[in-house]
Amino acid sequence: MNEEISQEDLARIEAMKKEVLRKVLSKSALERLSRIRLVKPDLSNQLELYLVQLYQTGKLKSEISDEQLKSILEALTAKKQYNVIR
């Protein structure tokens, strides 16, 4: 049994992901996501997967605005601060 994913399957998955993102993001949020994809592809993939999961589980009640996308990005990129005690 072949467990590898073909290029055709990858293209189909990518097309489905883009369709979901067009449904859930406002125009300005979609533009922000495309700019993020150019600069930080890993962060963009993480954000896209998160948004698709929210959509699939039915947790998205309305379209995500640019401001909401910014707050989601802040939550994803929040780093823990460590205090070094000497």
The string of pLDDT tens digits covering residues 12-51 is 888 988 999 999 999 999 999 999 999 999 999 999 999 9
pLDDT at 26: 94
Distance CA 74, CA 43 (A): 11
Give the global pTM.
0.76
Residue 25 or 61, more confident: 25
pLDDT at 81: 63
Class of domain 11-77: mainly alpha
Domain ranges (residues) in the chain: 11-77
pLDDT at 63: 92
Q: For residue 26, what are the contacts with CB-CB under 8 A and spacing of at least 6?
A: 63, 64, 65, 66
Distance of CA 28 to the CA centre of its chain: 14
